[in-house]
Amino acid sequence: MEPNHLRMQLLSDDEMGSSKDWRKALRAQPAYRIVNRTIRGQTQFISIVAFIGLFVLIILYMFPRKGGSSGSVLRSSSYNYTYPLTSPIKTSSMHTFRIGVIADLDTNSRSDSDKNEWYSHFMRGYLSYSPTRHTVVVTWDRTSPIRLTTSYSHKGRGMELSELVVFDGRLLTFDDRTGLVFEIINDKAIPWVLLMDGDGKNTKGFKSEWATVKDEVLYVGSMGKEWTTPSGQLVNHNPQFVKTITTKGQVTHLNWVDEFKRLREVLGIYWPGYMIHESGVWSDVHRRWFFLPRRCSKEQYNESLDEHRGCSVLISTNEDLYDVKTTQILNSKPTRGFSSFKFIPSSEDQVIVACEPKNSTARPQLTSRPSQSTAKNTKGFKSEWATVKDEVLYVGSMGKEWTTPSGQLVNHNPQFVKTITTKGQVTHLNWVDEFKRLREVLGIYWPGYMIHESGVWSDVHRRWFFLPRRCSKEQYNESLDEHRGCSVLISTNEDLYDVKTTQILNSKPTRGFSSFKFIPSSEDQVIVALRTEELDGKTSTYITSFTIHGEVLLDDFYMSDLKYEGLEFI
């Protein structure tokens, strides 16, 4: 007999009944057990939900969203958003800002007293903008311009500064000869980042022409035109690269060849026609890029004719530079071209102030063949523009292929863009395709070209903005290029596919944009830009202002017989 069976037999009937009742009670749980379990389950669920909610709140607190219309972009807790650097003076009818412009003295930048010193001029002044009257007045300090010096050069040339931009609380300027990015501290130029040409794998510096900030990153572009020989023959696409620079100095090289093509193709400019950019601005308000090309032409580049091809069009485009729109800018001087522009800060990015220099001598990057092959180049990056995007500084060259004076392709180095972090880390971005798209929107295809000296990223619009200095559907020709000034504002989205253009009235094809900025309080609706003219051995610079829709608020206002190529609110 089994032991368990024996034990069961030893139990009395009463004991057996009690045992059965006890087991039954266990199987049938009282109501209070169910209630307690339900409450316990709800408590656990509520605790989980509360924990998730607390976690989300912590994330939102640590990473607050930007204000304004660009609320989709997260702010970094470490990025310095101070802009302008000097607090503006505002009344109900007038907003007054501190501004500064930087000079590109080209071969005249070498000191007469010290053979190992190169210099530039930094001039300050005030810009007063009336939102109600829609007027702009510019005055300059009575003191002499500040002399910025350096001992850094490349083959006897240096301190040929092309742009001014505020990035992460720093005032930066760019040497388009050596590729150096300087920070201006206490009226001294301190080297910060070195940008190399094209994709960054070159020994030649990037020819920065324009710079703008987009999403805490600095975008720096070149002229956006193929590098060609003086007669317009394709050399390379280096000027069609764009550099992105983080606040740490990390540089990325973006190929904007296609982007620059789209910018010029919107004006019916196809290669060998060209468009030269020296100014580009990203607007956070519009989430678009804006460009004021310096030169543009449907004809092939010609060195002797280029100074009479000033561009007078404002180009805007979405972040990817595909939705391109244009606005004509009145300009009766074809020898003048935009060299820099900015939106007036309080204009909601509706009003632009720009520099428009004048010079008859063809730009050095287009007049001479590189001394070495494309793969082995000892020239520094020719910075033409710089801008801040997402805490990264982007420095670009002219965005045009490097060519011989007759337009023959040498390399694509000027079509690279450098990105620089605040720690000085540099990344080289191949922007060959991006620069192509920028010019192709104007109908400009190789061997046509577009030269950039100004580019700005707008956090408001989440778009890039460019004001090309030169553009032409014809092949580059050193003698003709100065007559191919561009008058279009190009804007494009982040990946430079949605390109739009706006024509800027300009009857002076010899003038081209060299720099521009959005007026800070304008929500990236108003641009102030520099236009320069180089004609018959003489140079001149003009400042102008207009909205992103092409409405001129300040016609070309003569500044100086020096060529100023950098503009910033300081």
Give the number of other Cβ atoms within 10 Å of residue 71's Cβ: 9
Between CA 401 and CA 141 the distance in angstroms is: 39
Between CA 322 and CA 492 the distance in angstroms is: 6
Cα angle value 82/500/74 (rounded, 5°): 35
* Distance from chain centroid for Cα 285: 14
Q: Could you identify the residue written with the tokens 């450098």?
A: 418
**Strand pairing class (538-547; 357-359):** antiparallel
- DSSP β-bridge partners for residue 487: none
Between CA 446 and CA 201 the distance in angstroms is: 23
Answer yes or no: is 278 a known binding residue: yes
Cα angle value 179/396/350 (rounded, 5°): 135
Reduced to 3 states, what is the DSSP secondary structure of residue 435? helix
Answer yes or no: is 339 a known binding residue: yes
CB 282 within 8 A of CB 457: yes
Please give the span between the terminal C-alpha atoms of the chain, in angstroms, as a whole number. Answer: 104
Reduced to 3 states, what is the DSSP secondary structure of residue 245? strand
Could you tell me which of 249, 330, 316, 250 has the C-alpha nearest to residue 287? 316
- DSSP β-bridge partners for residue 220: 211, 395
CB 466 within 8 A of CB 259: no
Between CA 275 and CA 288 the distance in angstroms is: 19
* Distance from chain centroid for Cα 345: 16
CB 255 within 8 A of CB 476: no
Q: Could you identify the residue written with the tokens 């509706």?
A: 350
Answer yes or no: is 163 a known binding residue: yes
Q: Could you identify the residue written with the tokens 């201006």?
A: 184
- DSSP β-bridge partners for residue 315: 291, 326
Q: With the CA atoms of 80, 85, 91 and 93 taken in that order, what torsion angle do they form, in degrees rounded to the nearest 10?
A: -100
Give the number of other Cβ atoms within 10 Å of residue 285's Cβ: 26
Could you tell me which of 348, 335, 307 has the C-alpha nearest to residue 478? 307
* Distance from chain centroid for Cα 414: 15
Between CA 206 and CA 368 the distance in angstroms is: 16
Between CA 557 and CA 564 the distance in angstroms is: 13
**Token reading at 128:** 């007063």
Residues in the chain: 570
Q: Which residues contact 99 (CB under 8 A, 6 or more apart)?
A: 124, 125, 126, 127, 138, 353, 528, 567, 568, 569, 570
Binding site for Ca(2+), by residue number, is: 162-163, 209, 278, 339
Binding site, by residue number, is: 162-163, 209, 278, 339
